[in-house]
């Protein structure tokens, strides 16, 4: 890792013997990431049966004793969000009924996070509803990465560990040796995220795109606050969904004279028409992590996918050992 990396990884990890109480299981949402996490911890994923009945109902069975164990269930609630959320709830319930000592829901991507408040009458705060479901199912604690809204941690009445994918992206950018960097927030709401990112990137200057959203999944870019002319602009966001916000941001940065534009985000939701927008030539690279699996059909030449398995694996180990998680990011 470069000297600018902000994540401290413990290496090598102690060998886990047969008497250890740590167990890792994976839902079906992102088996590849779960396998990487288990490998980092020097373990295999626990055996589990997952299947769907003819009427669409889900079935889960843990196939080893977990009585008295500390169980970590890795399952991002990405598309199809309702199926993946329900599978997580069933996994939690199965572990609770199997007398696990502690059940940690590891949710690399927390679905419904954008429904975190009421913006009009008669709306549901679905992020809170999902928190209630996970808690009532029997989770002892939750581990999530880059929540869309940090206040979602307060929706849970159980311990919550919030970790970040930015160290992985920062390390990648530092190793590219980019010059004249300006970090850009694609909207006013992301300024705190972009400011923290810029501070860790050699205190790079900050710019802000002022936009006004006309409807869900639609954005209109209005103005750029800050100097981007002749610079390498790094757009930083937590989620790329339809890519309307970030692609419009990239377009106006080019119009304002940015030499190159990089797009960075932790969660690659990539709902249509995201791929067409992102691969249109606006960006030098689109840098995301593997919290959500990216299908082959959603890959394009400018896409760079970085793994957060070591971050999640290290966090699991520190929780299990009752050591500090926040010190990883200092």
Catalytic-role residue among 136, 211, 231, 254: 211
Question: Annotated catalytic, 136?
Answer: no
Cβ atoms 85, 100 nearer than 8 A? no
Q: Is 75 exposed, middle or buried (0-12, 13-18, 19+ CB in 10 A)?
A: buried
Cβ atoms 105, 319 nearer than 8 A? no
Phi and psi angles of residue 246, each rounded to the nearest 5 degrees, phi first: -75, -35
Q: Kindly state the DSSP code that residue 256 receives in the 8-state scheme.
A: T
- Judged by DSSP in three states, 239 sits in strand
Cα four-point dihedral sign 327, 325, 129, 293:
positive
Question: What DSSP letter does each residue of 181-198 carry, written as one string?
Answer: EEEEESSGGGHHHHHHHH
Cβ atoms 271, 241 nearer than 8 A? yes
Which residues are annotated as catalytic?
211
């Amino acid at each position: 890792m470069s000297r600018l990396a902000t994540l401290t990884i413990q290496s090598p990890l102690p060998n886990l013997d047969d008497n250890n109480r740590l167990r890792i299981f994976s839902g079906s949402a992102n088996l590849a990431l779960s396998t990487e996490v288990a490998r980092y911890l020097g373990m295999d994923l626990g055996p589990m049966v997952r299947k769907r009945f003819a009427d669409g109902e889900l079935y889960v069975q843990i196939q080893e004793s977990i009585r008295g164990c500390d169980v970590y269930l890795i399952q991002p609630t990405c598309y199809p969000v309702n199926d993946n959320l329900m599978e997580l709830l069933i996994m939690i319930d199965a572990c609770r009924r199997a007398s696990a000592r502690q059940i940690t829901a590891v949710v690399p991507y927390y679905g419904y996070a954008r429904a975190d408040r009421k913006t009009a009458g008669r709306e549901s705060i679905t992020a809170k509803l999902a928190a209630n479901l996970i808690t009532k199912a029997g989770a002892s604690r939750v581990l999530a990465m880059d929540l869309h809204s940090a206040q979602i941690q307060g929706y849970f009445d159980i311990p919550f560990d919030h970790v970040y994918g930015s160290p992985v992206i920062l390390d990648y950018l530092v190793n590219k040796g980019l010059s004249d960097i300006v970090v850009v927030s694609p909207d006013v709401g992301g300024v705190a995220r972009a400011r923290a990112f810029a501070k860790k990137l050699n205190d790079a200057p900050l710019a802000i795109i002022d936009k006004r959203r006309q409807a869900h999944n639609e954005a209109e870019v209005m103005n750029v606050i800050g100097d981007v002319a002749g610079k390498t602009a790094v757009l930083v966001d937590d989620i790329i969904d339809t890519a309307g916000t970030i692609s419009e941001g990239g377009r106006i940065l080019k119009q304002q004279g940015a030499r190159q534009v990089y797009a960075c985000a932790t969660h690659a939701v990539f709902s249509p028409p995201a791929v067409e927008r992102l691969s249109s030539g606006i960006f030098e690279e689109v840098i995301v992590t593997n919290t959500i699996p990216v299908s082959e059909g959603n890959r394009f030449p400018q896409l760079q996918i970085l793994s957060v398995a070591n971050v999640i694996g290290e966090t699991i180990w520190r929780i299990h050992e009752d050591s500090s998680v926040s010190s990883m990011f200092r």
